Structure 1
């Protein structure tokens, strides 16, 4: 994922935001803010064969600056609505898992709304497990929302 993908990446992010079950965010950030927040070695796009359009993306962020958490990242994965069901999300998670394991990262985690059953199923297929639910963790448009916490522990790192 590079700046050449910025417009497509942020557009897909905004589509996910607009659907209401992907994130607490209300608007995609600017590219400089997005770029700064994501780990450069652990962010990927899936590009379609016809025209090179971005079909989806995955990116990781550090969970903490404390050295004891150096092997723990949080990730997001977004797929364009027209590319869902085609294996894009699974391929992106496979790429993320490979890059993080090669870097010695031992835990990938994420928080997903329980209503986002497609994302929960995708993550289960990729080896993530539910570790709990944060009930009424925050409000979205005046409604309290729960978040399911998931993690995938590396079988080779850590």
Structure 2
């Protein structure tokens, strides 16, 4: 009966073990810990293996959701059919105290729908489970002038060098609480910028955020916006932890590129068609004669 030679111990010294550990290292034993044979057999049981596979699967799904390289979202038009998702994400956004001047007051869908341009608003949905991630919309930055800027103009457009009419659109973007830091905000902002790019009415797109909202600053800088003004004590918080505090407001803008001028073909005056010749010859057989009265 042959016996296997005893295993030789290798001196590990200060080697780096990080490559052998999984992402969630707190779920596994450290290299310096030892495992008893009974515990090893217990860990190798089918039930523990199944639990480990489930845990690994959930961990992988969580990493995929947070991965910036994954297919993050599908864009859909934000309509009344999705007002429940809009309201939920709006509520998540204002809870932080850095989105609006209130952490509890939320407009109704009717108010939102009347202020936001219907043509330029989108909602992001996860392509795997149809989960709503965030939304973006545009509105007139000067509500008191909204009566002068109806969404459908019936006046003649002003001729400009870049082919645009000079209007400014302000955007508002909100992302669900559990979906942030995934690039959803950048997808939404770029989508609405692309939509506004094809609309000749608008020349400038702007947005506003509080000075202590670093995430908003990084988002708009990534999407090509530039800071144009910073106003001290611009707005006052109505409620929340910072109730009564005056907040500084940053305004960023991005100018839309000129439209491609389409060469207008001159209208060719069609020649007046010659009326067809009328035969004035009278056919005697076709003339109705008066009947003879005997």
The verdict on a shared fold, with TM-score over 0.5 as the criterion, is yes
- Residues 1-158 of structure 1 correspond to what in structure 2 (within 5 A)? 1-25=78-102, 26-63=104-141, 64-65=145-146, 66=148, 71-104=167-200, 105-140=202-237, 141-157=243-259
2 CA distance for matches of 1:95 and 1:146? 28
How far did 1:13 drift?
A: 1.0
4+ long deviations beyond 3 Å:
64-70
2 CA distance for matches of 1:109 and 1:131? 9
Change over 3 Å in CA distance of 1:4–1:51 after alignment to 2: farther
- Choose 58-67 or 103-112, whichever is displaced more: 58-67
Structure with higher Rg: it is 2
How far did 1:70 drift?
A: 5.6
TM-score (norm. length: structure 2): 0.51
How far did 1:71 drift?
A: 2.0
TM-score (norm. length: structure 1): 0.92
Deviations 1:82-113 (A, max 9, x none): 11111111110111101101002211111101
How many positions carry a matched residue from both structures?
Answer: 158
Change over 3 Å in CA distance of 1:70–1:32 after alignment to 2: farther
Indicate if the aligned counterparts of 1:62 and 1:70 stay in contact, CA closer than 8 A.
no
Indicate if the aligned counterparts of 2:224 and 2:254 stay in contact, CA closer than 8 A.
yes
In structure 2, runs of 5+ residues without a counterpart are: 1-77, 150-157, 159-164, 238-242, 260-294
In structure 1, runs of 5+ residues without a counterpart are: none
Q: Which has the higher strand share?
A: 1
Task: Tell me which of the two structures has the higher relative contact order, counting C-alpha pairs closer than 8 angstroms and 6 or more residues apart.
Answer: 1
Q: Secondary structure at the match of 2:118?
A: coil
